[in-house]
């Protein structure tokens, strides 16, 4: 690797989702134990360290010259390759892979943030109705998503922001802080809602090879999409795209 990217993380604040999931230390473990045999393209790793105080350091292959994002059809195929490779064997290979349940924290976070989000002028009436129906139901949505298919290795945040495409068209998945075990369709659901225009959903799902369980995985992905609106400027193209994807998700549920 000619150049490298340094990723340092301070310990997560106690009681937060990253703390409960041990996200930063787990990413170090991902590059030490999972990445060498994962079977898809991820950044090469030169160093993966965590000290006794919880500070982490990763020295990774620099993919900044690759194009951000990925073609939805190609990305869905890569996700399917990973999910198929590790279906029903991921936990046998890495017994520590299951994560702590944080649905209670997500439930509380949604209850606090949703009133502000729903008051935005760019939130459609349909999206308000969608969000209102999820208040008090986030934990149930998470349980439904966990029953959406056979357990496998999942990325956990398979959005286009965490993908890069090489000049030859190879797709790499970055940022493995949220990885774990669960139905592969959960990765697909979040990828569709977060990153794919509705006109490309059919092609992406076709490339993935199945929509089985998608209706059960989508509510949890919708919760995440609604929470993500806080990071998008009101009326921005990204926010408008989010509304369009949320509308498409309703048709698949």
Summarised one tens digit per residue, pLDDT across range 188-233 is 999 999 999 999 999 999 999 999 999 999 999 999 999 999 888 9
Does the residue 155 lie in any domain?
Answer: yes
Does the residue 94 lie in any domain?
Answer: yes
User: Which is nearest to 158 in space by CA: 240, 210, 57, 82?
Assistant: 82
Range of the domain at 218: 67-252
Q: Is 236 exposed, middle or buried (0-12, 13-18, 19+ CB in 10 A)?
A: exposed
Q: Is the pLDDT of residue 24 over 70?
A: yes
3-state helix, strand, coil in the chain (%, to 5): 55, 15, 35
User: If DSSP codes are grouped into helix, strand and coil, which group holds residue 210?
Assistant: coil
Does the residue 170 lie in any domain?
Answer: yes
Tens of pLDDT, residue by residue over 145-160, are 999 999 999 999 999 9
Query: How many domains in the chain?
Result: 1
Tens of pLDDT, residue by residue over 120-136, are 999 999 999 999 999 99
Does the residue 42 lie in any domain?
Answer: no
Q: How far apart are CA 156 and CA 161, in angstroms?
A: 13
Does the residue 9 lie in any domain?
Answer: no
- Cβ–Cβ < 8 Å for 39, 90: no
- For the beta sheet containing 67-68, the strands, ordered from the edge strand earlier in sequence to the opposite edge, are 67-68, 163-165, 171-173
What CATH number is given to the structural domain containing 178?
A: 3.90.1200.10
- Look up the pTM and report it: 0.95
Does the residue 129 lie in any domain?
Answer: yes
- Pair of tokens at residue 235: 């009326």
Does the residue 62 lie in any domain?
Answer: no
Q: Quick one: how many helices (H) and strands (E) in the chain?
A: 11, 8
Query: Within a 10 A sphere around the Cβ of 36, how many other Cβ atoms?
Result: 9
Q: What is the pLDDT of residue 2?
A: 59
Q: Is the pLDDT of residue 96 over 90?
A: yes
Does the residue 101 lie in any domain?
Answer: yes
Q: How far apart are CA 222 and CA 184, in angstroms?
A: 16
Q: What is the pLDDT of residue 3?
A: 78
Q: Is the pLDDT of residue 1 over 60?
A: no
């Amino acid at each position: 690797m000619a150049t490298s990217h340094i990723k340092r993380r301070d310990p997560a604040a106690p009681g937060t989702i990253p703390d409960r999931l041990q996200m930063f230390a787990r990413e170090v473990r991902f590059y030490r134990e999972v990445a060498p045999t994962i079977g898809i393209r991820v950044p090469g790793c030169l160093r993966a360290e965590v000290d006794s105080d919880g500070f982490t350091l990763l020295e990774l292959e620099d993919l900044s010259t690759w194009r951000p994002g990925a073609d939805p059809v190609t990305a869905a195929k890569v996700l399917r390759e990973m999910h198929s490779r590790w279906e029903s064997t991921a936990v046998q290979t890495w017994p520590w892979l299951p994560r702590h349940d944080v649905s209670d924290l997500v439930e509380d976070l949604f209850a606090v943030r949703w009133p502000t989000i729903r008051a935005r002028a760019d939130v459609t009436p349909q999206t308000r109705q969608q969000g209102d129906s999820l208040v008090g139901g986030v934990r149930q949505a998470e349980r439904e998503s966990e029953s959406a298919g056979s357990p496998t290795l999942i990325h956990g945040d398979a959005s286009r922001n965490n993908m890069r495409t090489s000049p030859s068209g190879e797709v790499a998945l970055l940022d493995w802080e949220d990885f774990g075990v669960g139905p592969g369709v959960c990765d697909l659901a979040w990828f569709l809602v977060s990153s794919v225009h509705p006109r490309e959903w059919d092609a992406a799902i076709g490339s993935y090879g199945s929509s089985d369980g998608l209706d059960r995985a989508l509510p949890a992905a919708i919760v995440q999409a609604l929470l993500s609106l806080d990071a998008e400027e009101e009326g921005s193209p990204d926010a408008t795209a989010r509304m369009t994807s949320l509308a498409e998700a309703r048709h698949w549920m």
